[in-house]
Amino acid sequence: MVVNSISPASSTGRSSIRRIAREDMEHLIPQAEKDYMLFGIKGAEYYAYYLDGKLVGFAGLKVYPSYLKILNDYVVPEHRGKGIYRKLFSIRWNDIISMPQRRIKTIATAMSERMFLSYGFKVTRVHSKTKEMIYDKDW
């Protein structure tokens, strides 16, 4: 199912965002794991960014009865800095605000810090070993 069609990330490419299953992004997982992405949460939903038919990024979400967990945002290195992560975050956020849960949790690296802060998340703790930041947001 197409979640949203969006404008091209480059002047020559066509892009789209769709919901996909974990199995549809298996080829990107080894690369993402090198950047410390973790996988294996059953029932997670993924938003995938395709550029010219090729999967170049994804963003994850897990829905629990009392809260939501943002997980596994990733854009392949050669497409970073083109606004893909921002578009994925925005599409996912539009779905989040339509859900009944009013608490969101996530763990993210410093690379995502500005994005989470811009959406009103607060750092509640920094992991002592990995230096990942734990964010919460209630509304």
The pair of three-digit structure tokens given for residue 1, joined into one six-digit string: 């199912």
- In angstroms, the CA 10 to CA 72 distance is 24
Asked whether the beta carbons of 121 and 108 are under 8 A apart, the reply is no
Predicted confidence band of residue 50 (pLDDT cuts 50, 70, 90): very high
Q: What is the pLDDT of residues 13-42, one digit of tens each?
A: 799 999 887 778 777 777 776 666 656 677
- In angstroms, the CA 95 to CA 91 distance is 7
Nearest to 55 by CA among 19, 83, 91, 1: 19
- In angstroms, the CA 13 to CA 62 distance is 30
Domains detected in the chain: 2-101 (3.40.630.30)
Q: What is the pLDDT of residues 53-77, one digit of tens each?
A: 999 999 999 999 999 999 878 899 9
What predicted TM-score, i.e. pTM, was given to this entire model? 0.80
